[in-house]
């Protein structure tokens, strides 16, 4: 009960009348729970919720154990169940931006400090995915995932569909100090609950393209920035050719789905730096490599 109170006390988005009730939180420790809460001012949210308990050894007292609650949540803040395939936070449509998938624990910040990688896999599957995620206030928002060896792409909508048909989802959180946390969520009963939260029938099978659009926009902003334009004009290189070469080298370094998780660029001392969804530097390359790849 202590961890549940911690969860309720520090949950950033929770307030009275907004979010699952205490009864729903308690029930979510036993099964998947549907919650529909909110108000006309802040909006309403449909949510599928599951809480599991992980027992681990306390690092300070090796013989003592502590239980940590982990939460897996699918939320839809759109006015309707059915989600359009478009994107855009300023759009009035009920679109992809209205749906989020997140995982977090009662210890919140401890879940994300020093976090290097999030890996997931499902029961009866021989492959795993590296998740591209963002973090905020100890929450981990699952954006998309790339299959081992860059063999396939899993959008958060593909993930939602898998949650409805699989029996178990496994997480592995890997940290910079070499430690790992393994968490498994039972998915039994998730299908009927998730179907109450969101209807994905309008989402097309082009998720890797849709997830890559913002990355493509980021490349456009970068190559059209004053710094890059001055650099290109002094060498009589076209913006289009430079952008195409940049994307080619980026994909060679980071894989064909790189635009789905590279969201920003910096140009400093001849180096082009690539930043991910969490504003972390993941790669850098000298501009000469970009120029030499121009066809």
pLDDT (0 to 100) of residue 43:
82
* Chain centroid to CA 109: 17
> Does the pLDDT at position 294 exceed 50?
yes
Local confidence band at 278 (pLDDT 50, 70, 90 cut-offs)? very high
Mean of the pLDDT values across residues 219-231? Answer: 94
What is the domain partition of the chain in residue ranges?
Answer: 2-204, 210-292
pLDDT tens-digit series, residues 25-68: 999 999 999 999 888 887 889 999 999 988 765 555 455 556 78
For residues 278-294, give the mean pLDDT: 94
Nearest to 73 by CA among 154, 130, 128, 7: 7
**For the whole model, what pTM was predicted?**
0.87
Whole-number pLDDT of residue 242? 94
Range from 26-40, 75-89, 139-153 carrying the lowest mean pLDDT: 75-89
Burial category of 215 from C-beta neighbours within 10 Å (exposed 0-12, middle 13-18, buried 19 and up): buried
Dist CA 229 CA 183 (whole Å)? 47
CA-CA distance, 173 to 97, in Å (whole number)?
Answer: 25
% of the chain exceeding 70 in pLDDT: 87
Residue 72 pLDDT class (50, 70, 90 cuts): very high
What average pLDDT score do residues 208-212 get?
87
Whether 24 and 35 have beta carbons less than 8 Å apart is answered as yes
State the average pLDDT over residues 165-189: 94
Handedness of CA 200, 169, 171, 139 (dihedral sign): positive
Distances, alpha carbon 122 to alpha carbons 163, 183, 188, in Å: 9, 12, 13
Structure tokens at 95: 């679109």
Give one DSSP letter per residue of 231-266, joined into a string: HHHTTT--HHHHHHHHHHHHHHHH-TTGGGT--EEE
Looking at residue 18, its pLDDT comes to 63
Helix (H) or strand (E) holding 230: helix 226-233
Give the pLDDT score at 109: 61
At 127, the pLDDT band (50, 70, 90 cuts) reads: very high
The whole-number average pLDDT for the span 126-148 is 94
At residue 115 the predicted structure's pLDDT band, cuts being 50, 70 and 90, is very high
Predicted confidence at residue 17, as pLDDT, reads 45
Task: Report pLDDT for 210.
Answer: 87
Q: Is the pLDDT of residue 180 over 50?
A: yes
Report pLDDT for 56. 64
Mean of pLDDT values over 122-130: 94
Q: Is the pLDDT of residue 8 over 80?
A: no
The predicted structure's pLDDT at residue 30: 94
Rounded-to-5 percentages of helix, strand, coil across the chain: 30, 35, 35
Alpha carbon separation from 257 to 109, 204, 215 (Å, rounded): 29, 17, 10
Q: Is the pLDDT of residue 9 over 50?
A: no
Task: Write down the residue that tokens 């907004």 correspond to.
Answer: 18
Whole-number Å distance between alpha carbons of 87 and 222: 21
Locate 51 and state its tokens: 């809480």
- Mean pLDDT rounded to a whole number for the chain: 87
Residue 2 in this model has a pLDDT that exceeds 70 = no
Query: Residue 256 pLDDT > 80, yes or no?
Result: yes
Quick one: average pLDDT of 213-218?
Answer: 91
Going by their DSSP bridges, the two strands 153-155 and 139-147 should be labelled as antiparallel
């Amino acid at each position: 009960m202590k961890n549940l109170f911690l969860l309720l006390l520090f949950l950033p988005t929770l307030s009275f009348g907004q979010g699952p009730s205490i009864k729903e939180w308690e029930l979510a420790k036993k099964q998947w729970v549907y919650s529909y809460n909110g108000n006309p001012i802040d909006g309403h949210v449909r949510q599928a919720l599951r809480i599991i308990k992980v027992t681990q050894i306390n690092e300070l007292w090796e013989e003592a154990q502590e239980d940590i609650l982990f939460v897996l949540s699918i939320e839809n803040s759109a006015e309707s169940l059915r989600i359009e395939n478009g994107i855009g936070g300023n759009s009035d449509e009920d679109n992809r931006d209205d749906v989020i998938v997140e995982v977090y624990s009662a210890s919140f910040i401890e879940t994300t400090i020093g976090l290097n990688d999030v890996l997931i896999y499902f029961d009866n599957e021989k492959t795993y995915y590296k998740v591209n995620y963002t973090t905020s206030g100890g929450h981990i928002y699952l954006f998309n995932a790339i299959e081992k060896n860059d063999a396939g792409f899993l959008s958060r909508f593909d993930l939602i569909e898998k949650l409805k048909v699989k029996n178990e989802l496994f997480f592995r959180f890997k940290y910079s100090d070499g430690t790992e946390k393994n968490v498994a969520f039972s998915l039994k009963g998730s299908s009927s609950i998730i179907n109450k939260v969101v209807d994905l029938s309008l989402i097309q099978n082009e998720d890797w393209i849709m997830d890559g659009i913002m990355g493509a926009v980021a490349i456009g902003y970068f190559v059209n920035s004053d710094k890059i334009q001055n650099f290109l004009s002094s060498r009589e290189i076209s913006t289009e050719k430079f952008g195409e070469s940049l994307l080619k080298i980026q994909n060679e370094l980071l894989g064909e789905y790189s635009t789905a998780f590279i969201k920003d660029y910096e140009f400093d001392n001849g180096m082009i730096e690539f930043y991910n969804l969490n504003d972390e530097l993941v790669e850098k390359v000298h501009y000469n490599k970009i120029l030499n790849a121009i066809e």
